[in-house]
Chain A
Amino acid sequence: SQQGEEDPQALSIQEGENATMNCSYKTSINNLQWYRQNSGRGLVHLILIRSNEREKHSGRLRVTLDTSKKSSSLLITASRAADTASYFCATDASGAQKLVFGQGTRLTINP
C-alpha cells in the first residue's frame, strides 16, 4: 500500500498566487522529503524535514510536518511559471529502510 499520498492530484493556479500541496502517510517516519520533477526529467530534492521538526523554509518554499496527523504540506509562495512541475513527497516508513514516493501533485502555473 502507498505510504505517502499527495492531495490534490492536480492543481492549477495563476502566477503570483500561493500553491499548497498536502501529503499524508500511514506509519511513523524518521523524515519526510519533497521533490520536484519537471516534465520528462529527473527528480530534484527540495526539502527534508525530520520527525522532530515542525516547519522548514527554503526560499519561497515552506514545509510543515504534523506527526500527530501523519501529514505534511508544501507551500510555494508567489508562484512563477517555472514552478510548473510535479511535486512528490517521499517518506522513510519506519522499518522499511528506504524512501517511498507518493503519486505526486501536478502543479500548473498559468501566466
Chain B
Amino acid sequence: DAMVIQNPRYQVTQFGKPVTLSCSQTLNHNVMYWYQQKSSQAPKLLFHYYDKDFNNEADTPDNFQSRRPNTSFCFLDIRSPGLGDAAMYLCATSGDSLMDEQFFGPGTRLTVL
C-alpha cells in the first residue's frame, strides 16, 4: 500500500545533541511537509518542499533544517535540540498543491533529556 513512513517512531536525544528524523513516501507526491505538534495543540508547519524547492515558514527557528535528496525521502535535522523542541514531528505529503488532501505519517515522538 502507498504510504508515508517515519523513522524512528520514538527518538530520545540529549540537550544540544543533533538529531535527524526521516520520512519516506511511496505515493510519488511532489510536496512533502514537516510539522511540529505539541501536546493538545494544532500541528504547526515548519517547512515544506515542492519538488526540490524548499520553503521555510517565517517563524521556524534556524535550529531546524531539512533535506530532500530525492522524491521519496525527506529529513528533518535539529542541530541543537532544546527542551522546548520535545514534541511529535509529523511528516506529510500532498500530490501537487499545498491545498490538496495531505497524507500523514505516524509521527516521531522526540524526547529531549
Contacts and interface: CB of A to CB of B under 8 A. Distances in A.
Question: Are A and B bound to each other?
Answer: yes
Interface string B75-113: 000000000000010101000001101111111010000
B101 A45 contact: yes
15 contacts: A2-B42, A33-B102, A40-B109, A42-B6, A42-B92, A43-B43, A43-B90, A44-B104, A88-B42, A92-B99, A98-B99, A99-B102, A102-B42, A103-B40, A104-B40
B106 A98 contact: no
Interface of A: 2, 30-31, 33, 35, 40-45, 48, 88, 92, 97-104, 106
Contact of A98 (B4, B88, B98, B103): B98
Contacts of A48: 101
B104 A40 contact: no
Nearest to B104: A42
Interface of B: 4, 6, 40-43, 45, 48, 88, 90, 92, 98-99, 101-107, 109
A43 B48 CA distance: 17
Contacts of B103: 45
Q: By CB atoms of chain B within 10 A, which of A40, A99, A101, A103 has the most?
A: A99
B100 to A, nearest CB: 8
A42 B101 contact: no
Q: By CB atoms of chain B within 10 A, which of A33, A44, A98, A102 has the most?
A: A98
